[in-house]
Every structure is written in structure tokens, then in C-alpha cells.
């Protein structure tokens, strides 16, 4: 188990970075891919899923770090 914890933490950290980079405050998801958007839109559809994936990955990263410290 101890040998897989650092690997799992690296994978979760990479996913967390990707999810954070996909989010842009104040614009829709399309601005990540070159579209202009100067207004704030509520999170819908895929944006809401990316937000929750970010929250889950963040919590999982913290939990893995704590388990890694305990073991």
C-alpha cells in the first residue's frame, strides 16, 4: 500500500492541475479554446462537472497526503 500512495498522489495532483486550468473565472468554458466572452455566466453542464471534479480531486489529494503522513 505504501508504494502506491505516492503514485496515486501524483496522478490526483495532475488531474487537479488539469481541472483548475480548464476553469476560467468570469468567462464560459469556450474562452479556454479561443472564444471571447466578457460576461460572467453561471456554471452549467460540463462547467459544473469540472467544478465538482476539482473539488473531489482536491479533497482526495488532501486525504492522500494525510494518509501518507500517518503511514
Angle at 25 between CA 64 and CA 31, to 5 degrees: 110
Q: Which tens digit of pLDDT belongs to each residue from 3-24?
A: 899 999 999 999 999 999 988 7
What does pTM read for this prediction?
Answer: 0.70
The span from the CA of 70 to the CA of 55, in Å, is 23
For residue 47, pLDDT over 90 is answered with no
For residue 65, pLDDT over 70 is answered with yes
Amino acid at each position: 500500500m505504501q508504494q502506491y500512495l505516492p503514485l496515486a498522489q501524483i496522478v490526483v495532483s495532475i488531474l487537479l492541475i488539469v481541472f483548475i486550468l480548464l476553469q476560467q473565472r468570469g468567462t464560459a468554458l469556450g474562452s479556454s479554446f479561443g472564444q471571447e466572452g466578457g460576461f460572467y455566466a453561471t456554471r452549467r453542464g460540463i462547467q459544473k462537472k469540472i467544478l465538482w471534479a476539482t473539488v473531489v480531486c482536491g479533497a482526495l489529494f488532501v486525504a492522500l497526503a494525510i494518509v501518507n503522513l500517518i503511514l
